[in-house]
Structure 1
Amino acid sequence: MFERPFWEERIRACLESRSVLWLAGVRRTGKTVLCRMLEDALYFDCELPRVRRQLEDPEIFFGRNRGRLVVLDEIHRLLNPSEVLKIAADHFPDTKVVATGSSTLSARRKFRDTLAGRKHSLWLQPAILADMESFGIEDVDRRMLAGGLPPMLLSERVADTDYLEWMDSYWAKDLQELFNIERKASFMKLVELLFLRSGNLFTAQPLAAACEISRQTVMNYLEALEVTLLVTVLRPFSGSSATEIKSQPKVYAFDTGFVCFYKGIDSLRDEDRGLLLEHLVLGEILARWPRQNVFFWRDKQKHEVDFVLKKGRGKEILAIECKHSHRSFSPSGLKAFRRRYPLGKKPACLPGCSGALARQYWRRRSGDSALQ
């Protein structure tokens, strides 16, 4: 087992200000292993009948474990998990609780109370750069191809059947628990098309025709995919200008390995690296930033910025552009964005060159020295 100090520190930081943490992540991202490695944590697997019996009386359970760090893994297996967490937060605030699941908390049918104001939420991403360092993996191409689920990233070879079996488990164990979706073939066809077009603008009608379902069903399926964390839906950032894209979102698949699988990519070209880099950068952002504050920007002249982050109450706006090589970098999108929104920084992610070279290239192309 590998330590994941970045995530351990994030968990500790969340528990400093709230006593309950909802740790979400798709299956096999390593939630259980991470929780078992937390120092001095008491681990309880709620899939076990004896653990569920212990939690039938939350007052007695938390009274016995007062002042400790308690992990409730797969807490949705309890009869009334929201009541358990509410009692912990309200009556045992000196007891820290980490509860895990494979979706956003609000998606769970059993969670009648989403614990607003009582909990933090943390979304465990497929392996980010800090995890790669912990795993001893330096090859970013390997991370892009295999994906960031630790069992696949750390495997000598990942077979196509591994991705198919993962999707079957997702359908049977995660999706069906939350949503009454009967048309598996249509749903899986939509997943395939979204992953093939990952990182592109989303349009429902062509997908509906290809999957032989209604437009409303496409939207319902997209919502299911979003709350079970299989996709990230980025809304466009916009102000009052009529020339900005205001409603059409972008959809990103949760993991580069599955993007490569559906696209049939088994060796990377530069154009593949550019798209997959966007996914890696998005993972780094979501590991640190509230999902509701992450956007993209595009205007009707096709100027575009990959990611826009609202900081605080939105007075400062961070614009991020991703390019695999500085030779493919054009400052036009960032410049157009900053003409409209001058407050904030404008980083560019250029893994093929040093920061100094990136800034020099920006100045030469744009005459602006504010790149970070």
Structure 2
Amino acid sequence: MVQRRFWQKQIEDSWKVRSVLWLSGVRRVGKTVLCQSLPDVEYFDCELPRTRRMMEDPEAFLEGLRGRRVVLDEIHRLSNPSELLKITADHYRDVRIIATGSSTLGAAQKFRDTLTGRKRDIWLTPMCLPDLKDAKQTDLERRFLRGGLPSFFLGEKVDERDFQEWMDSYWAKDIQEMFRLERKDPFQKLTELVLAQSGGIFEATHFAGPCEISRPTVTNYLRVLEATFVAHVIRPYSTRKPNEIISAPKVYGFDTGFICYYRGWQQLRRDDLGTLWEHFVLNEMMARMQTRDICYWRDKRGHEIDFVLANRGRNPIAIECKWSADRFDPTNLEAFRYLHPNGENVVLAADIKRSFGHSYGPLKVTFESLESFVSRMAPV
């Protein structure tokens, strides 16, 4: 079993701030194994009927766990999961609880209280750079093709049936149980199209016909995909300049392995690496910064910036992703900085080991490794 030390530290540090943690992430991303790897925890699998019976009286259950560290796996299986967590946060603060689920807290109908101010959220993403180091397997092309679900990445081989079995389990255990959707075929068709077309501009009307559903249904399904971390909706950065794209989002699939599978890629060409590197950069930023507050930028002439970090009150950081640094062209950054002159410009390339700067006329660009960038961007 690989010890995912980056995530173990995230949990330990978060327990110092809040007694209740919510660990979320897609199915089979490693939530259960991660929780069981923590020292001195008592593990409860809420899928088991006898476990659910133990928690029918939350106060009696928690009374017997004073001073303990507790894992409540698949807590959405309880009839009223937010009640138990709220009682813990308010009245049993010496009990440390980490509860797991496959969606944002509050997305599913069973969660009647989102516990605002009472919990700390941790989002477990597909394997990031520290995970690859812990696994002693840092081959990025393997990570791209197999994806970042631990069993897919670390296994001897990945069978095509593994992807379909994951999709069937996702529908049965996440979508039907938590969201009560009724039509499997159009939902799975949309999911497959989102993965196959990952990274592109999302127009709901373009998906309605192939999926045989209405535009509002496409929009509703996309919200479910986003709530369960299977899709990431990246919205355009804009200060409403006349020639900027201000409404059309880009949608990224959650995992490079599934993107390769639904695109039919069994071997990677050089041109594929740039696209998959962009997805990997997004996963790394989300993992290390624990945020989805990431934008892209595009103008009506077709200039585009891969990602923009635009925290309120700070100048936007423009990020370009390149598999090889020598493929960088400053044209897009120049167009962006013509409208937004202040802020840092960063090129994240897979072949950069040490950061360096380069000037293109008045445009100053930092070429940086992904590890260096996310380390300085991550919250302390």
TM value normalised by structure 2: 0.92
1:134-149 mapped onto 2 (5 Å cutoff) = 134-149=134-149
| 1:220-251 deviation per Cα after TM superposition (whole angstroms, max 9, x unaligned) | 11111111111111111111312111110010
Match of 1:329 in 2: 328
Q: Is 1:340 aligned to residue 339 of structure 2?
A: yes
The change in CA–CA distance for 1:94 and 1:366 in structure 2 (over 3 A counts) is farther
Q: Does structure 1 retain, via aligned residues, the 8 Å contact 2:110–2:178? A: no
User: Where does structure 2 lack aligned partners over 5 or more consecutive residues?
Assistant: 369-380
Match of 1:63 in 2: 63
Return structure 1 stretches of 4+ with deviation > 4 angstroms. Answer: none
Distance across 1 between alignment mates of 2:94 and 2:245? 47
Match of 1:351 in 2: 350
| 1:315-336 deviation per Cα after TM superposition (whole angstroms, max 9, x unaligned) | 2432221011123211222233
Q: Is 1:77 aligned to residue 74 of structure 2?
A: no
Distance across 2 between alignment mates of 1:114 and 1:61? 21
Distance across 2 between alignment mates of 1:99 and 1:309? 30
Give the deviation of 1:344 after TM superposition. 3.6
1:172-183 mapped onto 2 (5 Å cutoff) = 172-183=172-183
The change in CA–CA distance for 1:250 and 1:189 in structure 2 (over 3 A counts) is same
Q: State the secondary structure of the residue aligned to 1:319.
A: strand
Give the deviation of 1:75 after TM superposition. 0.6
Q: State the secondary structure of the residue aligned to 1:86.
A: helix
Match of 1:276 in 2: 276
Q: State the secondary structure of the residue aligned to 2:296.
A: strand
Opposite residue 323 of structure 1, the aligned amino acid is K
The change in CA–CA distance for 1:41 and 1:346 in structure 2 (over 3 A counts) is farther
| 1:110-142 deviation per Cα after TM superposition (whole angstroms, max 9, x unaligned) | 110000111121111111111011111121100
Q: Does structure 1 retain, via aligned residues, the 8 Å contact 2:315–2:342? A: yes
Identity of paired residues, percent? 52
Give the deviation of 1:8 after TM superposition. 0.7
Q: Does structure 2 retain, via aligned residues, the 8 Å contact 1:315–1:343? A: no
Opposite residue 340 of structure 2, the aligned amino acid is Y
Q: Is 1:114 aligned to residue 102 of structure 2?
A: no
Higher alpha-carbon deviation: 33-42 or 287-296: 287-296
Q: State the secondary structure of the residue aligned to 1:120.
A: strand
Match of 2:215 in 1: 215
| 1:161-194 deviation per Cα after TM superposition (whole angstroms, max 9, x unaligned) | 1101111111111111122333322222212211
Give the deviation of 1:342 after TM superposition. 4.1
Q: Does structure 2 retain, via aligned residues, the 8 Å contact 1:331–1:366? A: no
Distance across 2 between alignment mates of 1:4 and 1:343? 38
The change in CA–CA distance for 1:169 and 1:314 in structure 2 (over 3 A counts) is farther
Match of 2:47 in 1: 47
1:22-33 mapped onto 2 (5 Å cutoff) = 22-33=22-33
Distance across 1 between alignment mates of 2:61 and 2:21? 18
1:1-372 mapped onto 2 (5 Å cutoff) = 1-311=1-311, 313-356=312-355, 359=356, 362-363=358-359, 365=360, 368-371=363-366, 372=368
- Give the number of aligned pairs: 367
The change in CA–CA distance for 1:192 and 1:59 in structure 2 (over 3 A counts) is same
RMSD between aligned alpha carbons? 1.7
Q: Does structure 1 retain, via aligned residues, the 8 Å contact 2:148–2:255? A: yes
